[in-house]
Chains A and B, each alone.
Chain A
Amino acid sequence: TILEGPDGGWGWVLVAALFVCNTLVFGLMRVFGIFFVEFVHYFGESAQAISWISSIGVATQQFFSTVGAALGNAYGARVVVMAGGFLTGLGLILASQATAVFHLYLTMGVITGLGWGLVFAPMMATVMAHFTRRRTMALGLSLSSIGLSAFAYNPLFQLLIESYTWRGALLIAGALAFNIIPCGALIGPQKHSVVSSYMALSVLLERPYITLVLATSFMNAGFFVPYIHLVALGRGARFSDYQAAFLVSSAGIADIVGRLFSGWFTDLGYFRMIHVLTTWAMLLGLSIALLPVSTLTGSYLVVTVASVLYGFCSGALTALPFSILPQIVGVGRVMGALGLLQMLESGAGLLGTPLSGYLRDITGEFFISFLVAGSFLLVAGLILTTQPHFFSRTDPPLPPKHPLDL
Chain B
Amino acid sequence: MVPGKRRAAVMSFSLAILGSLMLQYVSSQNEPSIAASEPVILPMDSHSPPFSLQCNLTSSHSAHSESFWMKNGEEIPETRTSNKNTEYRLAKPRSDDAGVYMCVFTFENSPAANATIEIKSAPEIHGHKRSENRNEGQRAVLYCKSVGYPHPVWTWRKFDNGFFRELDNSSGRFFINSRDNYTELLIENLDINADPGEYQCNATNIIGTHEEKSILRVRSHLAPLWPLLGVLIEIIILVIIIVVYEKRKKPEDLQDDDDVAGPMKTNSTNNHKDKNLRQRNTN
Mask of A1-29 contacts with B, CB within 8 angstroms, 1/0:
10111100111000000000000000000
> If the complex has contacts A188-B260, A188-B262, are A331 and B268 also in contact, measured as CB distance less than 8 A?
yes
In the complex, are the beta carbons of A125 and B269 less than 8 A apart? no
In the complex, are the beta carbons of B223 and A332 less than 8 A apart? no
- The A/B interface has a contact count, at CB < 8 Å, of 141
A404, CB-defined interface residue at 8 Å: no
> If the complex has contacts A182-B239, A188-B262, A195-B265, are A175 and B219 also in contact, measured as CB distance less than 8 A?
no
A77 and B279 alpha carbons, distance in the complex (Å)? 14
B38, chain A: closest CB distance, angstroms:
53
Binds A, one of B64-72, B108-116, B228-236: B228-236
Q: List 20 A-B contacts (CB under 8 A).
A: A5-B279, A9-B281, A72-B263, A126-B261, A129-B261, A129-B263, A130-B261, A165-B219, A171-B225, A172-B228, A181-B235, A185-B239, A188-B280, A191-B260, A330-B269, A331-B277, A332-B269, A400-B269, A401-B269, A401-B270
> If the complex has contacts A162-B133, A181-B239, A398-B269, are A73 and B224 also in contact, measured as CB distance less than 8 A?
no
The B245-283 residues at the A interface (CB cut-off 8 A) are: 246, 257, 260-270, 272-273, 276-283
B243, CB-defined interface residue at 8 Å: yes
Interface centre among A72, A78, A174, A175 (most CB of B within 10 A): A175
A126 and B282 alpha carbons, distance in the complex (Å)? 13
In the complex, are the beta carbons of A1 and B263 less than 8 A apart? no
Chain A positions within 8 Å of B, measured between CB atoms, are 1, 3-6, 9-11, 72-73, 76-78, 122, 125-126, 129-130, 162-165, 167-169, 171-172, 174-176, 178-179, 181-182, 185-191, 193-196, 330-335, 398-401
> If the complex has contacts A178-B231, A188-B260, are A163 and B219 also in contact, measured as CB distance less than 8 A?
yes
**Chain B positions within 8 Å of A334 at CB level:** 263
B87, chain A: closest CB distance, angstroms:
47
In the complex, are the beta carbons of B224 and A169 less than 8 A apart? yes
Interface centre among A1, A122, A178, A182 (most CB of B within 10 A): A182
In the complex, are the beta carbons of A10 and B282 less than 8 A apart? yes
A163 and B283 alpha carbons, distance in the complex (Å)? 42
B193, chain A: closest CB distance, angstroms:
19
**Chain B positions within 8 Å of A11 at CB level:** 279
A71, chain B: closest CB distance, angstroms:
12
Classify the interface of chain A: helix, strand, loop or mixed: helix
B227, CB-defined interface residue at 8 Å: yes
> If the complex has contacts A164-B219, A186-B282, are A331 and B261 also in contact, measured as CB distance less than 8 A?
no
A77 and B278 alpha carbons, distance in the complex (Å)? 17
Interface centre among B232, B263, B273, B281 (most CB of A within 10 A): B263
A405, chain B: closest CB distance, angstroms:
10
**Chain B positions within 8 Å of A331 at CB level:** 263-264, 268-269, 277
**Chain B positions within 8 Å of A77 at CB level:** 261-263
**Chain A positions within 8 Å of B223 at CB level:** 163-164, 168
A9 and B231 alpha carbons, distance in the complex (Å)? 28
B234, chain A: closest CB distance, angstroms:
8
A179 and B260 alpha carbons, distance in the complex (Å)? 24
Tell me the nearest residue of chain A to B268, going by C-beta: A332
**Chain A positions within 8 Å of B133 at CB level:** 162-163
A51 and B5 alpha carbons, distance in the complex (Å)? 108
- Among A6, A126, A195, the residue within 8 A (CB) of B278 is A6
**Chain B positions within 8 Å of A174 at CB level:** 228
Name 20 extra pairs, CB < 8 A, besides A3-B264, A164-B219, A169-B224: A10-B281, A77-B262, A163-B219, A171-B228, A172-B231, A174-B228, A175-B232, A179-B234, A186-B242, A188-B260, A189-B282, A190-B261, A193-B260, A193-B265, A193-B266, A195-B265, A196-B266, A331-B264, A398-B272, A401-B270
B11, CB-defined interface residue at 8 Å: no
**Chain B positions within 8 Å of A168 at CB level:** 219, 221, 223-224
